[in-house]
Structure 1
Amino acid sequence: MFKAIASAQVLGWKRAMTDFANSVGWDMRDKPEFEQIQSIVLEVIKKLGRKFSRSVNDLIGIQPRVQALEDKLRLSSNSDDVQVLGIWGMKGIGKTTHAAVLYDKISHRFHASCFIEDVNKLYRDGGHTAVQKQIIHQTLRENIDMSNPIEISGIVENRLHSIKVLIVLDNVDELEQLENLAIKPKLLLKGSRMVITTTDEHILKAYEGDVLIHKLPLLNDADARELFCRKAFKYEDQSSNCSALIHEVLKYAQCLPLAIRVLGSFLCTRDADEWRDGTEKVKAIVLNKKEEMSECIVDGLSRMKELTLLILYHTRVSGRLEFLSDRLQYLLWHDYPFASLPPYFTASNIVELNMPNSHIRHLWEGRKSCPNLKRIDLSNSKDLSETPDFSRIIKLERLDLSGCTSLSYVHSSIGLLKKLAFLNLRNCCNLVSIDFGCVGNMSSLRVLHLSGCSKLESTPDFTRATHLEYLDMDGCTSLSTIHQSIGVLSNLTFLSLRKCQELVSIPNDINFLVSLQTLDLYGSFNRMHPIPGQGYMSHLEYLNRTNPILRQAFSSHLVSLIFLDISYCNLKEVPDAIGELRCLERLNLEGNKFVSIPDSFRQLHCLAYLNLSHCYLLKSLPDLPNEGDKSGGKYFKTVSGSRDHRSGFYLFDCPNVSRDRLEFVGLERFFHLIKEPCNFRCGFDLVLPWNMGVRPVFGETFLRNSIIRILRCGINDNWIGFGFFVIFRKITVGGSPPHSSFSSLHPLYLSFESEYTEECFDMRLNLKRDQSYGSIWIIYISREHCHFVKTGAHITFKAQPNVVINEWGMRPILKQDISDSKEQKYIKFSKLNHDHVDFEYVKKSNRGSGPKIQLPYNWYVTEEEQVENIDAKAKENNLSNAGL
Structure 2
Amino acid sequence: MCSKAIVQYTASSSHAINRYDVFVSFRGEDTRNNFTGFLFQALRRKAIHAFKDDEDLKKGESIAPELLHAIQTSRLFIVVFSKNYASSTWCLRELAEIRNCVQTSPRPVIPVFYDVDPSVVRKQSECYEKAFEEYEKRFREDKAKMEEAERWREALTEVANLSGWDLRNKPQYVQIEEIVQNVINTLGPKICSLPKDELVGIEHRLEELVGIERKLQSVNNVGVVGISGMGGIGKTTLARALYERIYHQYDFHCFIDDVSKIYRDSSSLGVQKQLISQSLNEKNLEISNTSEGTCLIWSRLHNVRALVVLDNVDEVEQLRMFTGKRDILLRECLGEGSIIIVVSRDEHILRTHGVDDIYQVQPLNNENAMQLFCRNAFKVNHILSDYEKLAWDVLYYAEGHPLAIEVIGSSLFGRNVSQWESALARLKEKKSKNIMDVLRISFDQLDEEDKEIFLDIACALCHYDEEYVTEVLKFRGFHPEYGLQVLLDKSLILKGRRCIYMHNLLKDLGRYIVKEESPKEPLKRSRLWDYQDFAKAMSNNQTTEILEVVAVNSFASSKTVRVDGLSKIRQLKFLRLGNMNCSGSLSHLSSELGYLIWHNYPFECLPQSFQPHKLVMLKLRGSSIQRLWSGTKVLPNLKLLDLSDSKELGEMPDVAEALNLKEIVLEGCIRLRKLSPSIGLLSKLTILNLKNCQNLVSLPNSIVGLNSLEYLSVYGCSNLFNELLGEPSNTEHLKKLFSVEGPIHFHSRESVSCLLPSSLTLPCLRELDLRFCNLVEIPDAIGKLRCLEKLNLKGNNFVTLPNLKDLFRLYYLNLQHCKRLKYLPDLPSRTHLPLNLYSYPMQYFEGFIYKVTNEDECMAGLRMFNCPEIVEREQCTSMTFSWMLQMVQSWYNSECLTSLPSLKSLGSIIPGSEIPMWFNNELVSMDNSIIIDVSPFVYDNNWVGVVCCAILGEDLYRTRILEDSRRDLSVEHSDHMCLFYYSRQQFCHEQGIFRGKLNTHDLSLTFRLYDVVVLCAYMKDRDEGFYDFEVKKYGYRWVKKQDLQ
CA distance in 1, matches of 2:609, 2:527: 24
Change (3 A) 1:734 1:598: closer
Q: Does 1:421 align with 2:640?
A: no
Q: Does 1:776 align with 2:977?
A: yes
Q: Which residue of 1 aligns with 2:790?
A: 586
> Per the alignment, in what secondary structure is the counterpart of residue 718 of structure 2?
coil
Deviation at 1:576, TM superposition (A): 2.9
Alignment of 1:220-231 (within 5 A): none
CA distance in 2, matches of 1:287, 1:181: 19
Deviation at 1:311, TM superposition (A): 8.1
Q: Which residue of 1 aligns with 2:861?
A: 648
CA distance in 1, matches of 2:1038, 2:434: 68
Change (3 A) 1:682 1:707: same
Q: Does 1:604 align with 2:800?
A: no
Asked whether the equivalents of residues 312 and 333 of structure 1 are also in contact (C-alpha less than 8 Å), the reply is no
Equivalent position to 1:376, from 552, 575, 583: 575
Q: Does 1:657 align with 2:851?
A: no
Alignment of 1:67-106 (within 5 A): none
Q: Which residue of 1 aligns with 2:562?
A: 361
In structure 1, the gaps of 5 or more residues are 29-36, 52-69, 74-95, 112-133, 135-142, 184-192, 220-252, 263-283, 290-309, 737-765, 820-884
Deviations 1:556-599 (A, max 9, x none): 76333333333233344333333443222222222233333222
CA distance in 2, matches of 1:611, 1:699: 29
Q: Which residue of 1 aligns with 2:828?
A: 625
CA distance in 1, matches of 2:235, 2:916: 70
Deviation at 1:410, TM superposition (A): 1.9
Q: Does 1:670 align with 2:884?
A: yes
Change (3 A) 1:16 1:492: closer
CA distance in 1, matches of 2:438, 2:933: 65
Q: Does 1:709 align with 2:933?
A: yes
Q: Does 1:540 align with 2:734?
A: yes
Q: Which residue of 2 aligns with 1:495?
A: 688
Change (3 A) 1:256 1:675: closer
Q: Which residue of 1 aligns with 2:638?
A: 445
CA distance in 2, matches of 1:169, 1:577: 73
Asked whether the equivalents of residues 314 and 333 of structure 1 are also in contact (C-alpha less than 8 Å), the reply is no
RMSD over equivalenced CA pairs, Å: 6.1
CA distance in 1, matches of 2:422, 2:519: 33
Change (3 A) 1:771 1:695: farther
Change (3 A) 1:665 1:779: same
Q: Which residue of 2 aligns with 1:561?
A: 765
Letter in 2 for 1:424: K
Change (3 A) 1:216 1:334: closer
Asked whether the equivalents of residues 454 and 475 of structure 1 are also in contact (C-alpha less than 8 Å), the reply is yes
Asked whether the equivalents of residues 288 and 313 of structure 1 are also in contact (C-alpha less than 8 Å), the reply is no
Asked whether the equivalents of residues 698 and 811 of structure 1 are also in contact (C-alpha less than 8 Å), the reply is yes
Alignment of 1:515-530 (within 5 A): 515-525=708-718, 529-530=722-723
Asked whether the equivalents of residues 690 and 727 of structure 1 are also in contact (C-alpha less than 8 Å), the reply is no
Change (3 A) 1:643 1:781: farther
In structure 2, the gaps of 5 or more residues are 1-81, 110-182, 201-229, 246-346, 348-355, 378-389, 440-453, 460-508, 745-750, 843-850, 895-900, 961-966, 995-1008, 1020-1026
Deviation at 1:421, TM superposition (A): 1.8
Deviation at 1:422, TM superposition (A): 0.7
Q: Which residue of 2 aligns with 1:345?
A: 543
CA distance in 2, matches of 1:483, 1:49: 72
> Per the alignment, in what secondary structure is the counterpart of residue 538 of structure 1?
coil
Letter in 2 for 1:650: R
> Per the alignment, in what secondary structure is the counterpart of residue 680 of structure 2?
helix
CA distance in 1, matches of 2:523, 2:370: 55
Asked whether the equivalents of residues 691 and 714 of structure 2 are also in contact (C-alpha less than 8 Å), the reply is yes
Equivalent position to 2:662, from 454, 462, 469: 469
Change (3 A) 1:182 1:619: farther
Change (3 A) 1:624 1:811: same
> Per the alignment, in what secondary structure is the counterpart of residue 712 of structure 1?
helix
Equivalent position to 1:806, from 1027, 1032, 1035: 1032
> Per the alignment, in what secondary structure is the counterpart of residue 519 of structure 1?
strand
CA distance in 2, matches of 1:686, 1:638: 22
Letter in 2 for 1:383: C
Change (3 A) 1:260 1:98: closer
Asked whether the equivalents of residues 945 and 984 of structure 2 are also in contact (C-alpha less than 8 Å), the reply is yes
Q: Does 1:458 align with 2:670?
A: no
Change (3 A) 1:814 1:435: closer
CA distance in 2, matches of 1:441, 1:734: 58
Deviation at 1:426, TM superposition (A): 0.7
CA distance in 1, matches of 2:881, 2:85: 99
Q: Does 1:635 align with 2:829?
A: no
Q: Which residue of 2 aligns with 1:190?
A: none
> Per the alignment, in what secondary structure is the counterpart of residue 936 of structure 2?
strand
Q: Which residue of 2 aligns with 1:278?
A: none
Change (3 A) 1:418 1:655: same
CA distance in 2, matches of 1:453, 1:19: 88
CA distance in 2, matches of 1:779, 1:313: 54
Change (3 A) 1:27 1:793: farther
CA distance in 1, matches of 2:436, 2:365: 38
Tell me which moved more, 611-620 or 692-701: 692-701
Asked whether the equivalents of residues 515 and 538 of structure 1 are also in contact (C-alpha less than 8 Å), the reply is no
Deviation at 1:261, TM superposition (A): 13
> Per the alignment, in what secondary structure is the counterpart of residue 562 of structure 2?
coil
Q: Which residue of 2 aligns with 1:116?
A: none
Q: Which residue of 1 aligns with 2:162?
A: none
Letter in 2 for 1:467: N
Letter in 2 for 1:770: V
TM-score, with structure 1 as normaliser:
0.55
CA distance in 2, matches of 1:311, 1:99: 18
Asked whether the equivalents of residues 863 and 910 of structure 2 are also in contact (C-alpha less than 8 Å), the reply is no
Alignment of 1:39-78 (within 5 A): 49=194
Deviations 1:175-198 (A, max 9, x none): 899569999xxxxxxxxx997269
Q: Which residue of 1 aligns with 2:911?
A: 690
Letter in 1 for 2:920: G
Letter in 1 for 2:622: N
Letter in 1 for 2:718: F
CA distance in 2, matches of 1:621, 1:521: 31
Asked whether the equivalents of residues 398 and 405 of structure 2 are also in contact (C-alpha less than 8 Å), the reply is no
Higher relative contact order (CA 8 A, sep 6+): 1
- Percent identity between the two aligned chains: 22
CA distance in 1, matches of 2:825, 2:806: 11
Deviation at 1:400, TM superposition (A): 1.4
CA distance in 2, matches of 1:474, 1:176: 39
Deviations 1:674-710 (A, max 9, x none): 2312676367434343342666541111102264533
CA distance in 2, matches of 1:552, 1:527: 15
Letter in 1 for 2:860: S
CA distance in 2, matches of 1:638, 1:365: 38
Change (3 A) 1:169 1:617: farther
Alignment of 1:126-205 (within 5 A): 196=405
- The total of aligned residue pairs comes to 599
Change (3 A) 1:480 1:439: closer
Asked whether the equivalents of residues 401 and 425 of structure 1 are also in contact (C-alpha less than 8 Å), the reply is yes
Change (3 A) 1:684 1:353: closer
Equivalent position to 2:423, from 215, 220, 238: 215
Higher helix residue share: 2
Letter in 2 for 1:703: V
Change (3 A) 1:811 1:413: same
Change (3 A) 1:688 1:211: farther
